[in-house]
Structure 1
Amino acid sequence: MKNKETEFVDKKMIKPRSSRSIAMGAAFLMAMAAVGPGFLTQTATFTGQMGANFGFAILICIVVDFIVQMNVWRIIVVSGKRAQVIANEVLPGLGYVLSFLVAVGGLLFNIGNIGGAGLGLNVLFGISPENGAVIAACIAIAVFVAKNAMTVMDHTVQVLAVVKIAILIYIICVMSVPYKAAVTHTFMPTDINFYSIVTIVGGTVGGYISFSGGHRLIEGGMKGEKELKYVNEGAITGIGVASLIRILLFLAGLAVVTMGYKLDPANPAASIFKYAAGNFGYKFFGILLFAAGMTSTLGSTFTSISFLNYTEKAAAQEKIAKYNRLFVISFIVISAVIFYFVGQPAKILVVVGAINGFILPVALAILLIAARKKKIIGSYHHPWILSLTGWLVVLFMLYASVEAVIKLIH
């Protein structure tokens, strides 16, 4: 693997990208994967049910996001290996289990991502969500089969991120947001719903999302302690962008709920924008949902397929690359076909978010164990504060997951 990502066009090598450029690409890929249709749907659903108290779940989500991403990105880049390879070195066969969990969760989430993009096109142009999903799938495939696919993906995600933030800022500006209630209940909630915490954390940093940024860095050729400066910059940027979007959407939803409106359970996020700015706001939501669906489709597909790659040698990587496009196309097509015949993306996105919440503590624990093995990370000393907070997240998410299951059973 080369030291820096290099694109090839007609077998001619062009200028390699810098570590900072690759890190920023990873930052936006992670951030936009974290705030896709799943997050839009989950946030709207729980804000409608819990009001300002849901701010506590958002706060926990941001804190967990920071701890998880800082741990995962650093361990993966220092080792220079993908998460599934690291897991196999921790315990033979464990990597295959992790790959299965992440890939299945990614596929289920991708059904919702494709469906979300299709719903966005439905809002904008009136075409059926199913046909919209087919169009979205074709666009995603076109991005991945481009000759400089990684660069195209990075730039596409960054542009769509700006679109998301601009639309949400507009909605906040035209609404009467109860900021005092939001801040008060965020830090002093009167009701804590563990299912909402597990779901929102799982939907924004669980499953494949935990590894999207780290695997993007590996794909770009970043490896070793010398890259940690850029790893930190990328992780903090991605977390900051994702957190901003989370807060803006929560405030928009809270403003609508506080005014007494009831959100449509079939498409709760759309209700927020429709109530906030009428048909104009509803069209804005269509753009936002399409952007969210596309960015998450790219992130989910890239990361899930990366878990099928266990090779480390350059020669073997070239062989894998020949089949990569086939895997990518198949992954997207299967997601689109399932959505076309099954539908119900809102329900899928909430349920799969909870599933990813269960996967998170397992995946993070594997990497934290790896961070103490010299055969994996060499002489690198993982910061004790990251290890400590990482294990606290593992324990908290295990506890929250159990509490969520108990509450659902009863």
Structure 2
Amino acid sequence: MSILLGAAFLMATSAIGPGFLTQTTVFTQQLGASFGFVILASIVLDIGAQLNIWRIIVVAEKPGQEIANLLVPGLGYLLAVLVAFGGLAFNIGNIAGAGLGLNALTGLAPEVGAMLSAVIAIGLFLVREAGKAMDRFAQLMGIVMIGLTLYVALTSAPPVGEAIVKSIAPVVVDMMAIVTLVGGTVGGYITFAGGHRLLEAGLRGRSALPEATRSAVSGIGLASLMRIFLFLAALGVVSQGLMLDAANPPASVFKLAAGPLGYRLFGVVMWSAAITSVIGAAYTSVSFIRTFSPVLERNHRGVIIGFILLSTLIFMTIGRPVKVLVLAGALNGLILPIALGTMLVAAYRERIIGEYRHPVWMTLYGTFVVVVMTYMGGYTLVVELPKLFK
């Protein structure tokens, strides 16, 4: 149970980062109660992606990049590069978010808060049983985030009845919002965070499939619970006609809902979200390259620490590079269909998964996710990014 919860919380807290908080509040302001439908639709897509990938990783008893290389030589290296680049770029934003969280909570300069947060994250990987320490920390921070956001949601007095009705019968359906949420919850390195953690903890083989399924669904459930509470908190604020601060929408939700105390609570939530995402991004990104070399495998903790230090150094020297983050976001949207498509094909290769027979309904479910995310990710790369870099 400890392993399953650890993997679920690692996936969920990796997803709940600064971008997660900002996306949820901005879309709530734009779509109002109809954003509830977007959340429900994204949950359906998220579960389809995670169920397929986690089960195939566990039954194949290999990490995602090794499965990809067995399927098509070199594909695993491409996947590893995409995941590592996306993880590094987003980790710069995560480090920045940790600094902003401590700034809101204590008044420390964001740069000082970022360095302190990096030290804490590195400290987790220096302890003897780093895996267990990471699991415990992710669980604690996840509970703190969900609990405090629930308090703010209750304080903001949202129109729950309207939210329920429009979650089923929305006034407007925003496909881009759905894809953005899916990419932010199970895109890039997040897709593999829990699955790789289960392998490292020794949960593998056909006998472990029920546990992998429960852990995957639990991870999506935890992330979705946080999304729903934050949506209700923001909906309560905007339904009163109050305007969110465009520079920091989630902070203004907490402040408008609960006053000065709410702003401090935002600091706790932002820091918790950012520091756990720093840990999840570093751990999972390195898990994609450590198997390619015995030297990297033996020294993977040092590589993880170097990954965190590099993210912090980039933030300290050039700040949060918006264009790099946007480019990484587009790649994140493409990593999911590449990764999920690869896993679905591998699920029908006996030399990879043995005698296991992947359920047809899961294959169809996953294929639907691949088609939707491929279209929207391709649109972003072809149409939106050229506008940004003109």
Q: TM-score, normalised by structure 2?
A: 0.93
SS at match of 1:192: coil
Query: What CA RMSD, in Å, does the superposition of the two structures yield over aligned residues?
Result: 2.0
Query: Offset of 1:259 from its aligned partner?
Result: 1.6
Give the aligned partner of residue 156 of structure 2: 175
Partners of 2:306 and 2:82 lie apart in 1 by: 18
Give the aligned partner of residue 158 of structure 1: 139
Q: 2:109 aligns with which of 109, 128, 140?
A: 128
Give the aligned partner of residue 315 of structure 2: 339
Partners of 2:238 and 2:201 lie apart in 1 by: 43
Partners of 1:70 and 1:163 lie apart in 2 by: 26
After superposition, the Cα gap between the structure-2 partners of 1:401 and 1:180, relative to the gap in structure 1 and judged at 3 Å, is farther
Q: 1:370 aligns with which of 346, 365, 374?
A: 346
Q: Give the residue type in structure 1 aligned to 2:37.
A: F
Cα deviations by residue, 1:203-256 (Å, 9 ceiling, x for unpaired): 111000000000001111222101112112212221221111111111111111
Query: Offset of 1:349 from its aligned partner?
Result: 6.3
Give the aligned partner of residue 264 of structure 1: 245
Cα deviations by residue, 1:109-167 (Å, 9 ceiling, x for unpaired): 11111111111100011111111111111100000111110010000010111101110
Partners of 2:324 and 2:113 lie apart in 1 by: 18
Whether 1:107 and 2:82 are equivalent positions in the alignment is: no
Give the aligned partner of residue 307 of structure 1: 288
| Aligned residue pairs, count | 386
Query: Offset of 1:66 from its aligned partner?
Result: 0.9
Cα deviations by residue, 1:88-123 (Å, 9 ceiling, x for unpaired): 111000001000111101111111111111111000
User: Which 5+ residue runs of structure 1 have no aligned equivalent?
Assistant: 1-19
Q: Give the residue type in structure 1 aligned to 2:350.
A: K
Give the aligned partner of residue 388 of structure 1: 364
Q: 2:375 aligns with which of 399, 404, 408?
A: 399
Give the aligned partner of residue 196 of structure 1: 177
The answer to whether the 8 A contact 1:256-1:275 is kept is yes
Query: Offset of 1:57 from its aligned partner?
Result: 2.2
Q: Give the residue type in structure 2 aligned to 1:369.
A: V
Query: Offset of 1:339 from its aligned partner?
Result: 1.6
Q: 1:43 aligns with which of 24, 43, 49?
A: 24
Whether 1:294 and 2:275 are equivalent positions in the alignment is: yes
The answer to whether the 8 A contact 1:102-1:304 is kept is yes
Query: Offset of 1:309 from its aligned partner?
Result: 2.3
Q: 2:4 aligns with which of 5, 23, 34?
A: 23
SS at match of 2:242: coil
Partners of 2:381 and 2:129 lie apart in 1 by: 44
Partners of 2:382 and 2:287 lie apart in 1 by: 34
Whether 1:235 and 2:216 are equivalent positions in the alignment is: yes
Partners of 1:161 and 1:345 lie apart in 2 by: 27
After superposition, the Cα gap between the structure-2 partners of 1:86 and 1:323, relative to the gap in structure 1 and judged at 3 Å, is same
Range that drifts further, 141-150 or 30-39:
30-39
Q: Give the residue type in structure 1 aligned to 2:134.
A: M
Cα deviations by residue, 1:369-396 (Å, 9 ceiling, x for unpaired): 0000000000001111111100011011
Q: 1:328 aligns with which of 289, 296, 304?
A: 304
Whether 1:358 and 2:334 are equivalent positions in the alignment is: yes
After superposition, the Cα gap between the structure-2 partners of 1:120 and 1:352, relative to the gap in structure 1 and judged at 3 Å, is same
SS at match of 2:366: helix
Q: Give the residue type in structure 2 aligned to 1:107.
A: L
Query: Offset of 1:45 from its aligned partner?
Result: 2.0
Partners of 2:139 and 2:326 lie apart in 1 by: 25
Q: Give the residue type in structure 1 aligned to 2:130.
A: A
Give the aligned partner of residue 236 of structure 2: 255
The answer to whether the 8 A contact 2:334-2:378 is kept is no
Cα deviations by residue, 1:54-105 (Å, 9 ceiling, x for unpaired): 2232122211111111111100010000100000111000001000111101
SS at match of 1:379: coil
After superposition, the Cα gap between the structure-2 partners of 1:348 and 1:35, relative to the gap in structure 1 and judged at 3 Å, is farther
Q: 2:70 aligns with which of 72, 89, 95?
A: 89
The answer to whether the 8 A contact 2:291-2:297 is kept is no
Q: 1:218 aligns with which of 199, 215, 220?
A: 199
SS at match of 2:291: coil
SS at match of 1:223: coil
Partners of 2:343 and 2:96 lie apart in 1 by: 32
User: Which 5+ residue runs of structure 2 have no aligned equivalent?
Assistant: none
The answer to whether the 8 A contact 1:198-1:404 is kept is no
Give the aligned partner of residue 188 of structure 2: 207
Give the aligned partner of residue 128 of structure 2: 147
The answer to whether the 8 A contact 2:42-2:179 is kept is no
Q: 1:69 aligns with which of 31, 36, 50?
A: 50
